[in-house]
Amino acid sequence: MLVVVRLMVQINDTIVGIATPIGEGGISIIRISGEKALEILYDIFTFSGELKKNIRDIQERKFYLGKVYDEKRLLDQCMAVYMKGPRSYTGEDVVEIHCHGGILVTKKILELILHNGVRLAEPGEFTKRAFLNGKINLAQAEAVIDVITARSDSALDSAVKQLEGKLGEAIDGIMRNIEAMLANVEADIDFPDEDLDLLSVKDMEALLEECIKKIDALIKEADTGRVLREGVNTVIVGRPNVGKSSLLNALVREDKAIVTNIPGTTRDIIEDYIQIKGFLFKIIDTAGFRETEDIIEKIGLEKSYEKLQKADLVLIVMDASQALLGEEHDFIKKIIEMKDKVMIIINKVDLEKVIVRKDLVSSIFPGTKVLEISATEKVGLKLLEEEIINMVFEGKLSPGQDYLVTRVRHKNLLINAKKRLEDARETISRGLAEEFLSIDLRDAWRLLGQITGNAVDEDIIDKIFSEFCIGK
Ligand code: GDP
């Protein structure tokens, strides 16, 4: 069911959650949101200093020192702050208690609050309330997750821009145009005989074209946006012992993968996230390819194939001190046929030259990028990083450009909205009844509204907020 959610929500229960990761640290923050937040603070918090005399003199957005007691037992010395709604994260009254960052002490204070008639918050419920109370739109709520989980500079940049509401603004602009067209069409349907000052067919077509163009621009950047957010899926393949793990280690710059010189020991898949020039790469080190009777290795190979199919980039590693084998040649050829972005890396150039060298490999696989490196001697790695960035982004990345669409959900909605607007264009050009036009425009409007949350399914909202951690 499609609903305009903000109108139908009635939230009045008070929730509590631990906003910081559970563990030992400097401080833990326990957050309470809802009508009873301030009352709870009065109940469990003994203010030190001035406020002792009259706690109701509390000022919002000010830190107070005090103690939390459970009956007569002192639990901790804490700081507390009160943020009066709607000037708070959720838009409701919010209280935060900052206690010492121990697992037990945090849990004890949380339990004390729960015993005072407050409910434990569901994952993402604070942000969900912020959305339902109109503090942020749905795309901004999704950006909160992206800021928290960002693993590279570029992912963080685009998440923060989305958090500022840039995607919402772009979508809102298009929706306003659709609304203008809808008003026009419906006035014409409702009052066919009146002499209304309506848009001409030409004006409508121009407006439609403008909307389609804007959506198209957003769709075009979506793949890059996704890669920035999720990381470039990069698979490293090659015969056993050519130095795949060593290359991964050289790129990660720490010894996470097990490096060994017994062929075939990288049996399972090793994945690691690294940043190359500020961009996130998910590097997948696969089992070496070769015929094998070993069951574990076979599973590794099957998994490798799966990973290969999903890869954005494939790095094929060869050993400069070894001749090119027939099976190796066939495998490389297959990969080049299968994938767009493939790079051949000849490793161990520090060793005695044998047959596999750059010119030879280039002549066998024309058109494929070939680079020489030494993973252990750290030779050629800088150039390799540069070539990787060039290949993945094909020079399309311009500094300072906003990548607003980073989620598949948004991309799909944009694609469908564009289709509906194209239908509308067709309806006009074929001179069909205006009722059809109205339906097309409404559909496009609703689809776009699912990005910002203006018109959205309740299950979609639940699904989005289930991605969050508790306390957020
Ligand atoms: P993998 O099976 O392809 O993952 O290969 P490893 O990364 O485990 O490397 C196999 C062996 O080759 C190890 O002994 C590495 O130290 C060695 N090795 C890797 N890269 C280089 C290199 O650039 N030069 C030299 N001389 N040895 C290397």
Q: Is the pLDDT of residue 413 over 90?
A: yes
Report the alpha-carbon distance of residue 79 to residue 61 in Å, rounded: 12
Buried b / exposed e across 169-186, counting CB within 10 Å, b at 16+? ebbbebbebbeebbebbb
CA 411 to chain centre: 13
- CA 256 to ligand 1 center in whole angstroms: 14
pLDDT at 298: 58
- CA 25 to ligand 1 center in whole angstroms: 40
The number of the ligand 1 atom at minimal distance from the alpha carbon of 259 is 8
CA 265 to chain centre: 34
Tokens of 440: 């097309």
The pLDDT tens digits of the residues spanning 284-321 come to 877 555 545 555 555 556 666 777 888 999 999 999 88
Considering only CA atoms, which of 41, 88, 91, 87 is closest in space to residue 68? 41
- CA 263 to ligand 1 center in whole angstroms: 10
Report the alpha-carbon distance of residue 288 to residue 296 in Å, rounded: 12
- CA 342 to ligand 1 center in whole angstroms: 21
Mean pLDDT of the chain: 84
Considering only CA atoms, which of 419, 435, 414, 461 is closest in space to residue 4? 461
CA count, 13 A, side-chain hemisphere, 118: 30
Q: Confidence class of residue 37 from pLDDT cuts 50, 70 and 90?
A: very high
374 lines ligand 1 (CB under 6 A): yes
Q: Confidence class of residue 27 from pLDDT cuts 50, 70 and 90?
A: very high
Report whether 113 contacts 426 (CB < 8 A). Answer: no
- What are the φ/ψ torsions at residue 67 (nearest 5 degrees)? -130, 145
pLDDT at 153: 83
Report whether 235 contacts 307 (CB < 8 A). Answer: yes
Report the alpha-carbon distance of residue 407 to residue 226 in Å, rounded: 6
**Higher-pLDDT residue of 462, 214:** 214
Considering only CA atoms, which of 378, 407, 364, 377 is closest in space to residue 140? 407
The number of the ligand 1 atom at minimal distance from the alpha carbon of 347 is 23
Tokens of 454: 């203006």
244 lines ligand 1 (CB under 6 A): yes
pLDDT at 394: 77
Report the alpha-carbon distance of residue 315 to residue 381 in Å, rounded: 13
241 lines ligand 1 (CB under 6 A): yes
Reported as type and span, the H/E element at residue 409 is: helix 408-429
The pLDDT tens digits of the residues spanning 353-385 come to 766 677 778 888 988 999 999 999 999 999 999
Q: Is the pLDDT of residue 167 over 50?
A: yes
412 lines ligand 1 (CB under 6 A): no
- CA 376 to ligand 1 center in whole angstroms: 7
pTM of the model: 0.72
Q: Confidence class of residue 6 from pLDDT cuts 50, 70 and 90?
A: very low
The pLDDT tens digits of the residues spanning 116-133 come to 989 999 989 999 999 999
348 lines ligand 1 (CB under 6 A): yes
CA 404 to chain centre: 11
- Of all protein residues, whose CA lies closest to atom 22 belonging to ligand 1? 348
Q: Confidence class of residue 398 from pLDDT cuts 50, 70 and 90?
A: low
The pLDDT tens digits of the residues spanning 206-242 come to 999 999 999 999 998 888 888 888 889 899 888 888 9
288 lines ligand 1 (CB under 6 A): yes
- How many percent of the chain have pLDDT more than 90? 47
Residues in the chain: 472
Left if phi > 0, otherwise alpha if psi is -120 to 50, otherwise beta: which for 2?
Answer: beta
